[in-house]
Amino acid sequence: MLDFITINEHSSIRVDEGKIIYSDPYNINCAPHDADIILITHSHFDHYSPDDIRKVMKSDTIIVCPDTVNEPKELGLTVKQVSAGEQFDVLGIRFEAVPAYNIGKPFHPKSNGWLGYIIDSPDHGRIYIAGDTDITPDNKQVKCDIALIPAGGTFTTDASQAAELANTIRPKYAIPIHYGTVVGSPADGEKFRKAVDSGIEVVIKI
């Protein structure tokens, strides 16, 4: 199910859209050097990991990151900095940047300008990678076919809150991420599944 999407662990995502797209590569256990595009949601160590980026990048890989995040420039690759609400193309693929932030927690303030992303795929529809976020007025407006939502709690939505967001935006498929290693427990995926409405198909990839 959704075999073109792979979750390495945590929020480390690989999407095969003809072009290979990684989001927040982390704890990569091999060195495929196959990334055409790398999306960075923000600068925390488990989302921006230079050592892991070096395992997946090629000489012509393009990195996309928030315009408030300058660290990827150290890698010597082409870096495209974007801001919330921006729609843009990279290598013929359409993207949209979505704000990702906490409400009532200090870890990801809205003022930091950190992001989630929507990949607008002609084959698979709109794929929403939420980033580190709570339920917000911004992401409640997202329209997507596939949603990857953090479910580990502490720094982001927990399993029940992630399910609430899925039930609000109503994708065809919902995939829980950001649990089981750095934060949360392996059981969070099933907690998420049980709380998601029956009309939305939950796909567990971790």
For residue range 36-47, list pLDDT tens digits in order: 999 999 999 999
**pLDDT tens sequence across 118-145:** 999 999 999 999 999 999 999 999 999 9
Residue 65 tokens read as 């990151």
**pLDDT tens sequence across 47-105:** 999 999 999 999 999 999 999 999 999 999 999 999 999 999 999 999 999 999 999 89
- Provide the pLDDT confidence category of residue 168 given band limits of 50, 70 and 90: very high
Q: Torsion angle, CA of 25/28/30/35, rounded to 10 degrees? A: 0
Amino acid of residue 130 = A
Number of domains in the chain: 1
Q: In terms of pTM, does the model score above 0.95?
A: yes
Contact at 8 Å (CB) between 109 and 87?
no
Domain that holds residue 196: 5-202
* DSSP output for 89-130: EETTEEEEEEE---SS-SSS-GGG--EEEEEEETTTEEEEE-
The pLDDT score that the predictor gives to residue 1 is 80
Helix (H, G, I), strand (E, B) or coil at 53: helix
Find the CATH number of the domain harbouring 145: 3.60.15.10
